[in-house]
Structure 1
Amino acid sequence: MEDSYKLKKVISIGTVSEITGLSVRQIRYYEERNLVEPDRTSKGTRKYSFSDIEQLMIIANQREEGVQTTEILRELRKQGSNQSVRNNMIRGQINAQFNKKN
């Protein structure tokens, strides 16, 4: 998969802070609000992906526009649900195509 590098959680919170301009405190707050989910090392260090960074930038922009974190979370869940529905539809179409009697 060509975008798989975007999903690897290898970036420290300090680097994420530098890249995004968000404070470490803000990033942790967004984690507490379930808006971003970093991995944790065995020692508890947070690790983020490039996708997480993109997500944090979207969140920061929405917050600047006055959108509440509860609304952002609701929208993220809705998008996740829509993605899940789309994935199921695609799987169904693929299965239907391969299970056709010729």
Structure 2
Amino acid sequence: MPLTDGSFKHKKVISIGTVSELTGLTERQIRYYESRKLIFPERSKTGLRKFSFQDIETLIEIANRLEDGVWTNEIRKELKGREQFIAEAKLSNHLINGKINAQLKL
């Protein structure tokens, strides 16, 4: 069954070397962004960093924001705010769907 819901974007399966090639960032830059708590790769059993396609998009955005002169602490605040907004929107949608299902007795 093919993935159609975009869940593949969140699977952390991409190595730091591949991320570097795809983004044009050095591995050192990527590790720096991780140390500044801007990106959160998973670790394999052997300790290798694993990234998702969503992480790659975030890294590109971080690099662009830094190029525009935005400080890492400001980027961190922006990313946290976005994550909180998305989480609240998902919760709201879940509650609305629950109310609709209750009214329709589904």
Which interval holds the TM-score relative to the shorter structure?
Answer: over 0.9
Q: Which residue of 1 aligns with 2:21?
A: 18
Could you tell me which amino acid in structure 1 is paired with residue 75 of structure 2? I
Distance 2:20 2:69 in 1: 21
SS where residue 100 of structure 2 aligns? helix
Q: Given the two structures, how large is their TM-score scaled by the length of structure 2?
A: 0.89
Q: Does 1:4 align with 2:2?
A: no
Identity, % of aligned positions: 46
**Which runs of no fewer than 5 residues in structure 2 stay unpaired?**
none
Q: CA deviation at 1:5?
A: 1.7
Shift of 1:100: 2.1
Q: How many residues align?
A: 102
Matches within 5 A, 1:1-102: 1-2=3-4, 3-100=6-103
Give a deviation string over 1:55-100, Cα, whole Å, max 9, x none.
1000000000000110001011111111111111111111111122
Following TM superposition, the consecutive aligned residue runs of length 4 or more in structure 1 with deviations greater than 3 angstroms are: none
CA distance in 2, matches of 1:49, 1:81: 20
Q: Which runs of 5+ in 1 are unaligned?
A: none
Secondary structure of the structure 1 residue equivalent to 2:103:
coil
Q: Cα RMSD (Å) of the superposition?
A: 1.4
| Alpha-carbon shift at residue 101 of structure 1 (Å) | 7.0
